[in-house]
Structure 1
Amino acid sequence: MALSLHGYAQGTSNELKENLDSLLIVTPKTFKEIDGLLHPFKNDSIQLRYIQEKSVNRKYSLGQAYALNQLGSIYRDKELYSQALELYQQALHLSVEANSIEFRVYSLNNISSVYSRTDAVKSALDYSQNALELAETVNNPSDALKRSIIASLNNIGATYQMLEQYELAIEKYERSMSLEKELDDKLGLAINHKNVGECYEAQAILDPALTNFRKSLVYYEIIDSNKGKIMCNYNIAHVYVHQGKIQEAIDILQSNLIKAKAINDQNIITTIYINLGWAFIRLGDYTAAQTNLESGLTLAKSNNINAEIAEANKFLSELWIKKDDYQKGMSYYKDFKKYEERITNSLNLRYVNDMILRYESEMRENQLERLAEENESVRLKLRKNKTMLIIIGISLILLIGILYILYRQSQLNADKKLLTLEQSMLRSQMNPHFLFNSLNSIKLYIINNEKKNAVHYLNKFSKLVRKILEASSQREISLAEELETVELYMNIENIRFSNEINFTVHIKDDIDVHNIKIPSLILQPFLENALWHGLSSKDGAKNIDLEVKRGKNGFIEIVITDNGVGRDAAEKIKDSKVLKRKSVGIDITKERLANFSRDYENYFHVDIIDKFDDETNPVGTQIVIYIPTI
């Protein structure tokens, strides 16, 4: 029923009259200016009709377009879609007459939203794409136009997501988020991080999915949206089930079920019940699974949520099959297929898929044409500035050449330093004193006619020498090879200690020492130091333990522990000797480890820890070598 202008005026506030009078005098051209005056009345259909009539009398097309768009949104939200569509079409026509791109894009997006809600996917996508293409013709869009671009991108992304075109959907959502960051639109960022997470989860790419759900949760916490926080926690729990973190998922779902009941959101409650059932199936608790799934199915049916009815039937089918009741399982499976078919319009989806491919192809062709035009422009500029470009090019070549020479010089110096370190390490491993004493010990076995021991240790000595020579030619070796080398070394050295040294190796945490790479020949100097400075002057049991275990932050820890006299006592004994044994191997090893650290995200390092008993008496030394694995 139509009302007269007089009838509108009777229900019109003084504030609206004043704002509308100002509007009709200035007749602004931008959405922001018009909305700034009329925004308080955008949900009042009587006031909007008054604005429309006054704008018609003054022939102010944009005022009419604004009022018609807001009226259309009121009808749309009341599910009066045909009336809403008619109002939006009128607003679009007026926007074209007024030559306002802002209002044209805004009206196109509103029309798209009506088609989307009525499942006319093809028309919804058409209008969103038209809106986006039109908006992208503006070089410096206003904030209002940016919001319309966001709406277009989100509508297209949602359609692609529905059609399982996940990479295209993610690209649209990420473009939308870049604009939402510019506008500090935290709600938009929360929604789109959730959308991106769902796209990744649908492709079983779980880590990026979890990252995006957590980012979405942060934004929902900032804006304090209880519903948003519940949905994000549900999404996180959903990923946890896929990752096998079943109990963590159940804890999150049960906690958020209570919160969902507090806000009485039937859709969320239904979804959580069904997913709790799914999680309990994975946990093997079929009684709890059945209880939750049946609760979810009952709610889904009472609220006519076809997608959740299908989901509940699917999991109930799986549950009864696991319980060996194939008749019930098949019954639920038939119900699942029935509801799945109801929510699938294969003809419409095929048509839209074809349209998507055509649209993306046309977009790429347009981009190629623009690139060709830009290339032509650049070519003309290059022709005009040819001399300057040649000079710049020559200068750049010279600069690059100089930088390359400096870089190569730096690399050569580094390689030279590394070679020097390797040579020093080899000398420390193969020092004449060690070779002489080892051969002398073997000779003593021969003199004493201990042929078996002589042959045994001679074999070990030759194998050790071969391993040291082989390792010295390699930049890195496996930890397994290094451990084999040091065991040979300790066997040889133990001859000189009359086999008093108890040397043990422990590998913990199921570590595969064959897959861990370390610089070659780094452990022997620490063992040598423990032998000759820690244990050589000690009476009683002499122990060296080598332990390999997992440390924190991606490190493998190699721990060498001796029960020697301690560093302070060893230093005093060393000072009292006429012939002092200088330990250069450890210093060289530390320098080699520092040099290797350049190739890793983390760095090798060494801790030396003095050990004391309860009465602060020294009881040995512990070396901890931290080996990065990432």
Structure 2
Amino acid sequence: MRSSILYIILLLLLAGSKVFGQNSTNSKFVLKGLVESQSTHTPVSGVSVSTSSGQFTLTNGLGEFKISVSIGEDLVLEHTSFETVRHKVTSKDEIKLQVVDETKNNRQLSNSSISRNKMFNYQSLLDSAEYYRKDNIARSIDFVAQSMEVLGPNGNKDQLAKSLTKLGEIYLYHKQYDLAIDNFEDALQANKTIATSLLLARTYEITGQLKKAEEVLVPLQKLQNMVPFQRVELYEILGDIKKEMNEIKLAVDYYNEGLKVATKNQIAPKMTDLNSKIADAYAQDNQLREAEVYYGNSVELAGKLEPKRVLQEREKVADFYNKRNEYTEEIAIRKNSLKELDKLNIPNEDKASGLGDTITTQRINYKIANAYIAQDKYEEAIPYLQRSIIQADSNNDLVVQKDATRKLSEVYEYKGDYNRALETYQDYVSLVDTLYIRKEQEISRAARFNREIAATQSRITGLEQERELSQSKYELALTEQELAEESYKRQRWIIYSLIFGLLLTGLAAFFFYRSNQQQKLANNLLALKSLRSQMNPHFIFNALNSVNNYISKSDERSANRYLSDFSKLMRSVLENSEEDFIPLSKELELLELYIKLEHSRFPDKFDYRMQVDENLDVSTFQIPPMLLQPYIENAIWHGLRYKEEKGFLEVRVRAKNENELEILVVDDGIGRKKSAELKTVNQRKQKSKGMGNIKQRIAILNDMYGDKVSVSISNLKSNGEGTQVLFTLKKDK
């Protein structure tokens, strides 16, 4: 048993190294082609085009196709109207394949009431429906409805069946199974095809109507003209049906039949899927040794596909070990998955769609933590739960965030840390409330979504009824079309006039926009000038307070020295007061002079240090003048001044990346909360004028120059002591 576990883990690691290190010897490219009748030169639509590597597509209404191949592969063309044709790919040039008619289908196509132009529009609409299928169901359905309108009252039934099948695929993707079944059944009534039958059977299987699914598939087993990919899908669905019926032996037999066809035709994705499903079936029947072998096969085969497929198989193997309580092996696989997931560098918004909801960093961390908890290793579990919570919050995954927070509270309770357990449980309750609100919103959206779908489906049903009732009006429609063509010239002039009017409107809108932007710029400049004029008196007032302090102590020498440094500072401040931005090097010199002045007044209250990254060229960055001084002033006057022991003030300048740097102002004073408690009632009513001006200046400058400066303030320590101000400054483009 131990050796088989080590064998599986070794296969996982080998598969990962193959995926992320392999270089394909035969580079793939997209081959374009056309299939047409040899006798009439009319395009043949619906031709099944497959490759020896498992790629599959159908020709569109113009007989055109695109498929991913490599040099030396065989193309297999199959259709009911001609014998199977094989063609070897020898170059990357576009190909034209002519086939010999064996039925009247091509003549029917050439005599079809749908013109070539209409056929092009029809296929374009179906292509558009496919493009929007995943992201915009309403728009996708609307394109299908338009395609049915293009067919007209005497439209070809084959094309009508294609539209209905596409509509069923849209509903199937969005889990509107009843509507999907209705449209697949209507499509089969118009034209029976293998592809639509397989889709209907799959939908029946998903909805648990297993007997109906079997009734659809059994006749297909007798067909001889199925392409290999479709036959593999046939056996796969039959296997799924038997597995759900818990008839494991029959399920495995069907899966193995599909695996034979896939292996013979080198359909790599299906080879991986079927090995994985055989493993699932054995695991369901508690035949664990057989399940391990097939899981190993699926991982090894997935290593020859894209990296995401390997991760999916690894997670299935990890789940398998979890069910067997073999947590050490599970944890090792999931940790490796985390590393490979980071290497993939998939954007957060694409992870769920590309890998599935279960293969995310937050969920994998949560599962690792659960494996540790199952072994009573609470200390090891806590960091993974914390990472899961942080990542789930970042990715807006409330479900995982809620579960991880609840589990973390339980772990703290097991450890006897009841304060943290209570605090974490309160976070869990808050997340449950948020999730409840979100679920209510989702239910409301789903109800509205269903109403919209019902309305759209009613429109399509109406189109079908109208099509049936309009057969007798077809000749009239042709006459109207001729009249429409005669009036085309007049309509063209109207369209040109409308376009010209739109151009004039667009030009007027552009000048209005430019005028508005210029006015906005002038307003911003005026506001900046006003704020700068407020900033200088504020700074002078605060600085003169320090001079007054020396005079009150009769310390003439210190007052003179302070006034000398102050005059240098004021001269520089006044010189820069009219500028939006000054060199960062000059601002740092002014800042150091200001801190020196404050330190000379409070030498026993704090020490300071200014640290600039040696590799950073500060002369390439610009910063608003007097931006940092109010934050330094707050750190000294409201943080360090009230500290009982001597404090420390640090200003660090470091590079964040090639075009950004960070300025960090850190003090270990009493903190913002305690400072607020020490303020008088009058001080609490007033906001810092300098800080207010800074915020307004940053907002205006970012609006004018595009988010050049950002500021964030946080506590230095968890107990509220100390303050940390982080400035992020972007380089001029």
Which TM-score band (shorter chain)? 0.3 to 0.5
Question: Whose radius of gyration is greater, 1 or 2?
Answer: 1
Task: Tell me: higher relative CO, structure 1 or 2? Use CA pairs within 8 A at least 6 residues apart.
Answer: 2
TM-score where L is the length of structure 1: 0.38
Q: Which has the higher helix share?
A: 1
